[in-house]
Amino acid sequence: MNTTLPNHMLEATRLTREGKLAEASALLRRALHGEDPSDTPVPKRDAPGPPPAGGRPSRTFDIDPRTGEVLDPCSSGTGLFRTGADLWSGGRPGRMVTPPIAGGLRGLLDRIAPGASPQTTDPLPQGAQFVTRSFENHAGSRGYKLYIPSTYRGEAMPLVVMLHGCTQSPDDFAAGTRMNMLAEEHGCLIAYPGQTQAANAQKCWNWFSPGDQRRDLGEPALIAGITEQVMRDHAVDRRRVYVAGLSAGGAAAAIMGMTYPDLYAAVGVHSGLACGAARDAPSAFAAMRQGAAAVNQPGDGSATASNGRPVPTIVFHGDKDGTVHPRNGEQVIAQSGAGGLRSEVQQGQVSGGHAYSRILHSDAAGQVVLEQWVVHGAGHAWSGGSSAGSYTDPRGPDASREMLRFFLSKASG
């Protein structure tokens, strides 16, 4: 598959390859603001800059000089995309380019010259713990944070696994979603796996890589391993284990629901994409812009729970999301098995905030299996989140509270 890039993207790629991030940033900023990128002063083509910091080899896009097309990495047999200054790449051998999913091109520019991002958490209630742990298996290793509420006394509690978006961290995601506060209210353990820059330069989960879309391989094996380690080390209600995520983390959560339906009783996808929405970098960018060309549907590889039903799924997506097209939220719902369910649409309005549409998909017994929230006027941010974390929209509705409500109404097996 060949994907033609605009001229300003090709020029930005060249500048990035040469380590000239400021010039690349200026060029893309003008394009994003609707200005003519050709007006941006561009220095003459001198010798390439030094290799990027961190010791990883510099990587460049494979571009056909005749057509300006990005070449299909699979055709070379290497499975690699290479990006200048390792800006979009993973950093592990064989890792493809990472689309900056947490902010699109605008997010990429913010990462080049990041602004201050609050990452504070509320003081822990007396008796609560927010501990740092790590996990390692054949797929590698990852650290994670675990919130243990003050009400934990060794009795079995539900477990929610929260997957952050690009450039975020477990602490940032906990602060933005306020899920720890809700864990105190409802008596839940909350695990926050952390992606590393060694695995992905922007700390995105590699949702678009085929090696990270399959059970017992790559990142799914690591996330499932963290889940199971928490279940071994603490009293967890094994019928009430859930996974949710934002953006790249939302796409990873969708993958976990498809690949481990026996482990997770329900899935939450916020501003994410369906499992298999992309197989490489060009298709990832295309899916982010306009939705996936095709995703697995029930009956052709999608996973179902042990009782044969789709894994219950709740989706949040802003209809003004300019980073991950809202069509992706619809595709997550479709992939989860909405075709055979009865749908009901409810309208609502947050006082002083966003209006929303809530679509409930129920089975023949009247049980809600899938729930889709379309937040009108919202962009690429966690709905109802706290400004203490990044990528949040405090104008609601409260995605954390609604997801946890949905989760706790579902039990596996």
Residues 219 and 284 in one domain: yes
Residues 362 and 218 in one domain: yes
Residues 60 and 138 in one domain: no
Considering the domain boundaries, does residue 18 fall inside one? Answer: yes
**So what's the pLDDT on residue 183?**
98
Considering the domain boundaries, does residue 413 fall inside one? Answer: no
Considering the domain boundaries, does residue 62 fall inside one? Answer: yes
Considering the domain boundaries, does residue 333 fall inside one? Answer: yes
**So what's the pLDDT on residue 413?**
76
Residues 33 and 181 in one domain: no
Q: Number of structural domains, the chain?
A: 2
Range of the domain at 219: 129-408
pLDDT by residue for the chain (413 residues), tens only, comes to: 444 455 656 666 666 555 555 565 565 555 555 555 555 444 333 333 333 333 333 333 333 333 333 333 333 232 323 232 222 333 333 333 334 444 443 343 333 333 334 455 568 999 999 999 999 999 999 999 999 999 999 999 999 999 999 999 999 999 999 999 999 999 999 999 999 999 999 999 999 999 999 999 999 999 999 999 999 999 999 999 999 999 999 999 999 999 999 999 999 999 999 999 999 999 999 999 999 988 775 444 444 444 456 799 999 999 999 999 999 999 999 999 888 899 999 999 999 999 999 999 999 999 999 999 999 999 999 999 999 999 999 999 999 999 999 999 999 97
Residues 158 and 246 in one domain: yes
Residues 55 and 161 in one domain: no
Nearby residues of 332 by Cβ (< 8 Å), 6 or more positions away:
254, 269, 272, 273, 274, 313, 315
Structure tokens that stand for 206 in this block: 């590699």
d(CA 39, CA 52): 28
First-to-final CA distance of the chain: 41
Q: Which of 343, 314, 302 is nearest to 160 (CA)?
A: 314
Examine the fold and report which residue of 87, 108, 139 is the final residue of a domain before the chain moves on: 87
Examine the fold and report which residue of 33, 58, 87 is the final residue of a domain before the chain moves on: 87
Residues 254 and 334 in one domain: yes
Considering the domain boundaries, does residue 100 fall inside one? Answer: no
CATH number at 307 reads 3.40.50.1820
Considering the domain boundaries, does residue 110 fall inside one? Answer: no
d(CA 293, CA 306): 29
**So what's the pLDDT on residue 312?**
97
Residues 133 and 221 in one domain: yes
Residues 78 and 145 in one domain: no
Q: List C-alpha distances in Å: 344 to 7, 252, 372, 374.
A: 46, 27, 10, 13
Examine the fold and report which residue of 35, 65, 87 is the final residue of a domain before the chain moves on: 87
Structure tokens that stand for 365 in this block: 């017994």
Considering the domain boundaries, does residue 328 fall inside one? Answer: yes
Residue 285, exposed/middle/buried by CB under 10 A (0-12, 13-18, 19+)? buried
**So what's the pLDDT on residue 150?**
97
Residues 66 and 173 in one domain: no
Residues 151 and 78 in one domain: no
Structure tokens that stand for 70 in this block: 């990005």
Considering the domain boundaries, does residue 103 fall inside one? Answer: no
Residues 75 and 158 in one domain: no
What's this model's pTM, rounded to 2 decimal places?
0.74
